[in-house]
Structures are given as structure tokens and as C-alpha cells.
Structure 1
Amino acid sequence: MNPKTTLTALAAAALAAATGFAALPALAHQHGHHAAATPNIVETAVSTGVHTTLVAAVKAAGLVDTLSSPGPFTVFAPTDTAFAKLPAGTVATLVKPENKGLLTTILTYHAVVGKVTSADLVALIKKSGGAAKLTTVAGQTLTARLSGDKIVITDAKGGTTAVTTADVATSNGVIHVTDGVFLPA
């Protein structure tokens, strides 16, 4: 897979990941084009309808096909509530065709190549002295730490976001639902 395809796939994965982990087994049977009971990142996101902002952003960025590819990807997926915390008008501006490049950068900043479970992440945090650096598909860094029993991610702008639901399994990776949107440098 070339770097641009990987970037696109990861961004879509992030978007799809946040959308509906509850309907995973049912979706695979409804669509009938996967032998496994677990849908991919995009199918997971589209299936529930509870993360409409992320799904709309993934579609606007043209990342659906990429995030349906084999992966694996780890996506930190913001909820609609997380997107609502952004300044008024931000999402509407980002999904405009003229802002596709910036939107893609933001979405791919939520994705990491490979499958990184919460147990893997906690082990990496401990091994790294309390702060693990993750390189995203966008080529920028996120820093993961523990706050009590929660994984907290700090973005390039210094914003902190908690993982609210970890280890949502998909056929092409894993989704960690977050309560905030990461902002790249």
C-alpha cells in the first residue's frame, strides 16, 4: 500500500471507528460480503448512525475506500459530542471541498498503522516511563499517558482527550472511541 493510500485509509478508519461498535456482528451479516462476523472500520462507523459527524468527514475526505482496505489500523475515533466541542462552524468549514487537504490531515492524525490494543498501549506507556509517543498516519505525534485507569492522549496543540471506549474490534484493526478531536500542529 502506498503512503497516500495508507493515510487515506487511516483517516477513514478513525471516522468509521467512532460510529457504532454495538452493531458490529449484525452488520457483517446484513451486508453479506464478509465471511467474518466483524465488519471493517467503515462498516462499523456507518452501521450505527451515532457518529454522523465522523462519517460525514470521512466521506468528504474521500477516505471510505481506503478505510475499507485490509489494514490493520488503529483509529482514535471522536464522537459527535467530541466534534461539537470544536468552535462553532469548524466542522462545516472542514467538510467543504476546498478544505479536503486539511480535513484529510486532521482525520489521518487520528490513525496509526497497525493494530494497537489498549493493553499494548498501556504496556508501551509503562515501558516509555509514563509517556508513549505514537506516530500517526499524518506523520505527526500523539502522546499517550495513563490518568488513573484511563488512557489520555495529548495532541500537538497540547489538548488532552480520553479514550472512553477501548478495543472496538473490526476486521481491519481496532477503534478507540475518544471524547475529543486531535488537532495537528
Structure 2
Amino acid sequence: MKLMNKTLLALMIAFGATAASAHNHGGKTEAAGTVVAVAAGNPDFSTLVTAVKAAGLVDTLNGNGPFTVFAPTNAAFAKLPAGTVENLLKPENKDTLVAVLTYHVVPGKVTAADVVKLDTATTVNGKAADITVAGGAVKIDGANVTATDIKASNGVIHVIDSVILP
């Protein structure tokens, strides 16, 4: 639990740096950027941002949304077999990359309070991802949710420790 709290604190600090231009409305802070901008402002998501750009999804995820993004960290991408990320980033594999990335996005704004009430979530990819809650830990398709409710102007980000595959 201490490790999870330290990880959450580190992620909150890192995301806080991205929200330097955040607006405070009656005690509630809203990030000024889209889900892409918030992710791009955090170096722990550089692989994800590179993949979103390679897939041509930047404009979509900068749109009105709202979107809920289950965002894998660089460490999550590093868990994949050697060469997987590099292979997915090749132009000839764009369709596969889009399928993987859109599996990490749920239409609408689904907060942590909402997620824990779900058994599945239908992704933008069209496929359902399994959600489990046990002992206070939340998983989506086996990936641990390590930080939640990181606000963006067009949605919310939940951090996960593994890449989930459709």
C-alpha cells in the first residue's frame, strides 16, 4: 500500500506540473489541456504519445470528447516483448496500432467512482474490457489501475501498469 501511495503521489506531482496553467473553480481544479496535452506533458507517457501520433489519433483525442483514457506508462510498454512497440509504430501496422490504442479509450467521462461499479467497459475499439475490483485494487483486463481521475479539458485519465490488448 505504501508503494501504491508513493506511486500515486509521484504521478500526481508529475501531472501537477502539466497542469501549471490549470484553473481553480471553487476548490475544483480543471486541467487546461486535452487528454493528449496532459499525457504529452508527462514524460512517463512519452511512448503512449508517440504511439498516438503514429496512429493519427491526436486530432481525435484533442476533440470535444469526453474520453476516458486508460493510459499505460512507458514502463507498461516496456513489459511487452522486445520489438513489439517498434513494430507497432511502423506505418504498415497502423491499423493494428489504432486497434490497440482505441482499446484503451472509453467514450464518455468515467470517473474512478464509476469504474468500480462496472464489470466491463465498451471501448472505442468496439470491444469490451473486463473490470475487476478486489480488496480496493482495480484492474482493467488484468492491468492494475495505479492512479485515477487525472482531469483534462475533454475527459479523464486513469493510469495503468500494462498495455491491454483487444
TM bin (shorter chain): 0.7 to 0.9
Corresponding residue number in structure 2 for 1:67: 61
Residue 104 of structure 2 contacts residue 123 of structure 2 at CA under 8 Å; is this kept in 1? yes
- Offset at 1:164? 0.2
**Counterpart secondary structure, 2:126:** coil
User: Aligned-residue CA RMSD in angstroms?
Assistant: 1.5
1:75–1:112 CA contact under 8 A, matched in 2: yes
Over residues 19-51 of structure 1, what are the superposed CA-to-partner deviations in whole Å (9 max), with x where a residue is unaligned?
Answer: x5232321569xxxxxx6531111101112221
Runs of 4+ in 1 over 2 A off after TM superposition: 20-25
Q: Report the Cα distance in structure 2 between the residues aligned to 1:71 and 1:118, rounded to whole angstroms.
A: 18
| One-letter amino acid of the structure 2 residue matched with residue 82 of structure 1 | A
After superposition, give the CA deviation of every residue in 1:116-168 in whole Å (9 maximum; x if it has no partner).
Answer: 0010111x23xxxxxx11110000111111121111112xxxxx111000110
2-structure distance, mates of 1:24, 1:39: 9
Matches within 5 A, 1:146-185: 146-154=133-141, 160-184=142-166
What SS does the corresponding residue of 1:102 show, helix, strand or coil? Answer: helix
Greater share of residues in helix: 1
- Structure 2, unmatched stretches of 5+, are 1-13, 24-29
Q: Which has the higher strand share?
A: 2
Q: Is the 8 A contact 1:22 1:48 kept in 2?
A: no
1:77-92 map, 5 Å: 77-92=71-86
The percent identity for this pair of structures is 54
Which residue identity is paired with 2:155?
G
Look up the match of 1:133.
120
Say whether the 8 Å CA contact 1:79–1:179 is kept in structure 2: yes
User: Can you give the 5+ residue segments of structure 1 that lack an aligned partner in the other structure?
Assistant: 1-19, 30-35, 126-131, 155-159
Q: How many residues align?
A: 147
Structure 2 residue matching 1:26: 3-state secondary structure: coil
CA distance in 2, matches of 1:137, 1:23: 29
1:76 aligns with 2:75: no
